[in-house]
């Protein structure tokens, strides 16, 4: 099939070189058509595509051969090259004496601590302390207006004095009447004897008997009056007691030797009943320290037990806590039990309410297996160390093998291992971070041994659980 050829435009004709003038007949004759081009065969196009694809495949094959040859060469070179070894420090698994401790948080309490309040309402007339002052037991700290009570007491005491005087006078009358009665009785006896012998008349004897009766009646009346006066005096004195009690309640005293808190009351201030006047904390040579311990070790805490403890607030060195009491029940939420201990504090460093962190042993010392901290590797799948063993194929070479372990706290720069290694085994120490299973290693020179201390070290080291 022939493809249509585009016709020549007038512009292309005009752009050609000038031709000879044509005759009129020639100009009028039509132009002859151009001969058609030969069609392209389909087979030639298909062959060209095959040549292109073949060229690409040949290039890919050549690249793959080159890469394969390079890898094989590298493998051969690596097989012939000596195995690389890492240098690490070898350490020996050892044991030490360890006592597990628990890090506890306690609160400091004074032996006695109260908020002192007034029992009755009234106006302040006197304040007998300053902020932070140490006061002795019985010292008057506050006085409220008690003028009415004092007046009533004075009136009752004056009436009691008058009553005492009246009673003294009555007692004198009683003594006089007793003497008159004794005389009348003596006269009556003489007159009665005289009547029998006819010395006096019966009328005189009757008069003597009447005198005895009269004197006895007077004595009885005066004695009854004395009893009444004594009862009235007792009633007056009883009336003084409630007024004195009210007067005492309006006087606030220190119940024990203590340090007074910040003053917040002043003379002239009206205080309602039960207003806190001051806080008092006893001044002693020791304080209480309360803290919570797990119920699993509660049975070990008994009154009188001595507990060594350390803490920044307690000062340098080891301090001794003495168990004073253990709470009667375990807390339902935390499952801990409260323990009250005491500690000597002659310098007064510890103030009530202070927050204190202490480390307390919770078990007896025992031998444990330890490894250096640098030897232990921690990972998501578990803690492990690298043990050092001779190469089975060449005993002169050393290789490392991964060993999973279980730990339980630390002792200084050492980690306690409860399972996985045994004392005397050699493991990789410094440099263990760059090891992997079966790696060839070289041992680094051992560091110089530290100088022996001049004083014996403590046998028991403590660590936080």
CATH number of 287-361: 2.40.30.170
* Measured distance CA(85)–CA(96) in Å, rounded: 33
Answer CATH for 86-98+365-443 from 1.10.260.40, 2.40.420.20, 2.40.30.20, 3.50.50.60: 2.40.420.20
Q: How far apart are CA 279 and CA 255, in angstroms?
A: 12
- List the pLDDT tens digit at each of the 465 positions of the chain: 344 444 434 333 333 334 444 444 444 445 555 555 545 556 677 777 888 888 888 888 888 889 888 888 888 776 676 778 889 999 999 999 888 777 788 889 999 999 989 889 999 999 999 998 999 999 999 999 988 888 888 888 888 888 888 888 888 888 888 888 888 888 778 777 777 777 677 777 777 788 888 888 888 888 888 888 888 888 878 888 888 888 888 899 999 999 999 988 999 999 999 899 889 999 999 999 998 888 877 787 889 888 888 777 887 777 888 999 999 899 888 888 999 999 998 888 888 888 888 777 767 788 999 999 999 999 999 999 999 999 888 888 899 999 999 998 888 889 999 999 999 999 999 888 899 999 999 898 866 544 434 333 333 333 333
Using DSSP's 3-state secondary structure scheme, residue 112 falls into coil
What is the spatial distance between Cα 55 and Cα 49, in angstroms, rounded to a whole number? 10
Return d(Cα 447, Cα 346) in angstroms, integer: 47
Looking at the chain, the number of H-run helices and the number of E-run strands are: 5, 24
Using DSSP, state whether 221 is helix, strand or coil.
helix
103-142 burial code (b ≥16 CB/10 A, e <16): ebebebbbbebbebebeeebebeebbbeeeeebeeeeebb
Say whether pTM exceeds 0.75: no
Concatenating the DSSP letter of every residue in 251-313 gives EEE-SSSEEE------TT-EE-TT-EEEEEEE--SEEEEEEEEEGGGGGG--TT-EEEEEETT
Predicted confidence at residue 272, as pLDDT, reads 93
> What DSSP character marks residue 461?
B
**Second-level CATH architecture of 121-145+250-283:** Beta Barrel (2.40)
């Amino acid at each position: 099939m022939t493809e249509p050829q585009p016709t020549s435009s007038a512009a292309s004709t005009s752009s050609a070189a000038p031709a000879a003038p044509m005759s009129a007949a020639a100009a009028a004759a039509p132009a002859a058509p151009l001969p058609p081009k030969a069609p392209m065969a389909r087979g030639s196009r298909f062959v060209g595509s095959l040549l292109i694809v073949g060229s690409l495949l040949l290039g890919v094959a050549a690249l793959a051969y080159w890469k394969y040859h390079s890898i094989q060469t590298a493998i051969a070179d690596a097989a012939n090259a000596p195995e690389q070894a890492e240098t690490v420090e070898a350490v020996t698994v050892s044991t030490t004496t360890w006592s597990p401790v628990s890090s506890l948080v306690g609160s400091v309490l004074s032996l006695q601590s109260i908020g002192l309040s007034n029992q009755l309402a009234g106006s302040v007339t006197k304040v007998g302390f300053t902020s932070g002052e140490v006061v002795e037991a019985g010292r008057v700290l506050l006085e409220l207006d008690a003028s009415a009570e004092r007046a009533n007491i004075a009136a009752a005491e004056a009436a009691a004095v008058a009553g005492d005087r009246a009673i003294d006078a009555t007692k004198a009358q009683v003594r006089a009447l007793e003497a008159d009665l004794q005389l009348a009785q003596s006269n009556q006896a003489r007159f009665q004897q005289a009547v029998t012998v006819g010395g006096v008349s019966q009328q005189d004897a009757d008069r003597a008997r009447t005198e005895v009766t009269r004197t006895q009646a007077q004595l009885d009346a005066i004695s009854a009056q004395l009893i009444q006066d004594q009862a009235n005096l007792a009633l007056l004195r009883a009336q003084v007691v409630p007024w004195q009690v009210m007067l005492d309640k309006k006087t606030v005293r220190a119940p024990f030797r203590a340090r007074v808190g910040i003053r917040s009351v002043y003379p002239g201030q009206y205080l309602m009943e039960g207003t806190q006047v001051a806080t008092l904390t006893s001044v002693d040579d020791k304080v209480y320290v309360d803290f919570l311990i797990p119920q699993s070790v509660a049975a070990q805490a008994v009154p009188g037990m001595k507990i060594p403890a350390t803490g920044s607030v307690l000062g340098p060195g080891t301090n001794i806590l003495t168990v004073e009491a253990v709470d009667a029940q375990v807390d339902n939420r935390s499952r801990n039990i409260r323990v009250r201990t005491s500690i000597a504090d002659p310098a007064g460093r510890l103030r009530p309410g202070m927050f204190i962190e202490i480390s307390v042993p919770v078990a007896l010392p025992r031998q444990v297996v330890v490894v250096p901290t640098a030897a232990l590797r921690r990972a998501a799948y578990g803690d492990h160390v690298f043990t050092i063993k001779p190469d089975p194929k060449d005993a002169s070479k050393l290789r490392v093998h991964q060993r999973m372990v279980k730990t339980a706290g630390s002792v200084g720069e050492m980690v306690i291992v409860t399972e996985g290694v045994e004392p005397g085994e050699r493991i990789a120490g410094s440099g263990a971070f760059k090891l992997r299973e079966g790696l060839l290693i070289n041992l680094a020179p051992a560091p110089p041994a530290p100088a022996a201390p001049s004083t014996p070290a403590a046998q028991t080291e403590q660590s936080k659980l």
